[in-house]
Structure 1
C-alpha cells in the first residue's frame, strides 16, 4: 500500500518521475520533453514544470538553458561514495544529538518513531519514508550544529529518491524500524559513540539495500 493521492499533484508526478529515472525507464541522457511527460503521466504542463524544478534541485534532472531538461548520468560508484559521506555526516549528527538533545527534542523523536510504526503496520512505504525522513532531520537538528545540519540536510536531499525507493526491498521497513528503535534509545540515553555507530551502520545498510533493489528490478512491482 503506497498512498500518494493526498499529496499535491506536482509531488505525485515528482515521485513517479523519480521512480522512472531510478528504475531505468527514463535512461541517463534522455531529454525530458514536457508534452511527452504530460502524455505519460496524464497531467497538464504546470505540475510537470514544477516537478522538473524539484527534481533539478535534488540533482536527478539537469535543466539546461535553451535545451530543456535531461536525465543526467549518475555512476554507481558516485552513488556509493555519496552514501559513504552521508553515513559519516549522520554518524556525527547522532553523536552530537546524544550529547545535546533537549527534552522537547526527545519527545519529538519518540513521537516520530511511533508515527513510523503506523505506516509500517499498514505496509505504506511512501508514508513510512516521509516520517522516516522527519526522524532523521530531527536528529540533525538535535545536534545543534548549524553547519552540520546544513550539510547533512543538503546531501540527504540529494539522496532522498534512492533512500525512499530502497524501502521497497523485501522486509526493509521492518529492519529500518528496528534500527531506529536502537538508535532512539542510544540518543535518549546519551550513548554518544553507540548512537554514532548505529546511525553510520543504518545509512550504509541503505546503500547496500539499494544495490539489492537494483539487482531485483525485474521482480519489483512498482506503484
Structure 2
C-alpha cells in the first residue's frame, strides 16, 4: 500500500490537474492567498506547492509578480516533445524485452479503455486512459530511473498532450498508433516498438501546426466554471 501523500504533494496534483484541464491557463497569476482560501489551507503549504511546481517547470516565479503558470514558446515545446519521444521510445524498447504477462494484460485493458473513450468521442476519458497507457509502458520497462524521468516530463507536457486530442480525428489516429505499439511490445520487437512510440509522441509538421492552432484557441477561450 502506498504512503499517503503530503499536503503539498496533494495540492501539487490538484493544481497540475487545473493546468492540464485549462482552468489555470498559461500566464495565469497564482495568488497564494486565493489558493489557500480555495483549498482551505494556510499559505505555507501553498508556498511549498508552488515551489514544487516551479521545480517541475509548470510554474515560473517572477520578480514582483510572484508565481504564474508557465508559458512555453513554440521552440521550447518542440524540444520537449522531441525529448519526450526519445524517452518513451526507450521505455517501449525495454518493455518489448521485459514486460511480464500481467503487464501486457494491463496494457490491453488500457487500450480497450482508450477505444471505448474514442468510440464515445469523449476526449477527457481518452486523455486519462491514454495517460495510464503510457505510464504502464514506462512501468513495463523495469527501469525505475527512466520511469521517473519520463513521468516528470510527461507532467510538464500534460496540458499540451491534452490539447492535441481536440484536433479532429486525433483520438482515432492515436488509438491506431497505440494498437501498433502494443502489438510490437507483445511480439517482443524492441526496435519496432521504439520506432512506433517515438512517432506517436513526437510533434512535427502538420501535427505541430494543429497544436499551435489549438493553443491559440485554448488561451483565448473562456474557462467553464
- TM bin, normalised by shorter chain, reads 0.7 to 0.9
The reply on whether 1:146 has 2:140 as its aligned counterpart is no
Kindly report which structure 2 residues correspond to 1:112-191, keeping only aligned pairs within 5 A, or say none: 112-191=110-189
SS in 2 for 1:69: strand
Deviation at 1:184, TM superposition (A): 0.5
**Aligned mates of 1:15, 1:186 — CA distance in 2:** 32
Alpha carbons of structure 1 residues 217 and 63: separation in structure 2 relative to 1, 3 Å = closer
Q: How far is 1:194 from its partner?
A: 0.6
1:200, distance to aligned residue in structure 2 (A)? 0.4
Alpha-carbon spacing, 1:13–1:72, altered in 2? closer, same or farther (3 Å): closer
Q: Which moved more, 1:11-20 or 1:91-100?
A: 11-20
Which consecutive unaligned segments of at least 5 residues does structure 2 have? 1-9
Describe the SS at the equivalent of 2:202.
helix
State the Cα deviation string for residues 2-26 of structure 1 (Å, max 9, x = none). xxxxxx999787555442665xxx5
State how many pairs are aligned: 207
Give the equivalent residue in structure 1 for 2:38. Answer: 44
Check whether the contact 1:80–1:207 (CA below 8 A) recurs between aligned residues.
Answer: no
Kindly indicate whether the alpha-carbon contact (under 8 Å) linking 1:34 and 1:45 is maintained by their aligned counterparts in 2. no
Secondary structure (helix, strand or coil) at the match of 1:70 reads strand
Distance 1:11 1:158, change over 3 A: closer
Identify which of 55, 63, 67 aligns with 1:69: 67
TM norm structure 1: 0.76
Unaligned runs of 5+ in 1: 1-7
Query: Structure 2: how far apart are the matches of 1:206 and 1:123?
Result: 25
Instruction: Quote the Cα distance in structure 1 between the aligned partners of 2:117 and 2:209.
Output: 24
Cα separation, 2, equivalents of 1:218 and 1:70: 18
Q: What is the rounded CA distance, in whole Å, between the counterparts of 2:40 and 2:58 in structure 1?
A: 19
Alignment equivalent of 2:79, drawn from 60, 78, 81: 81
Residues 76 and 56 (structure 1), Cα distance of their counterparts in 2 relative to 1, 3 Å cut: same
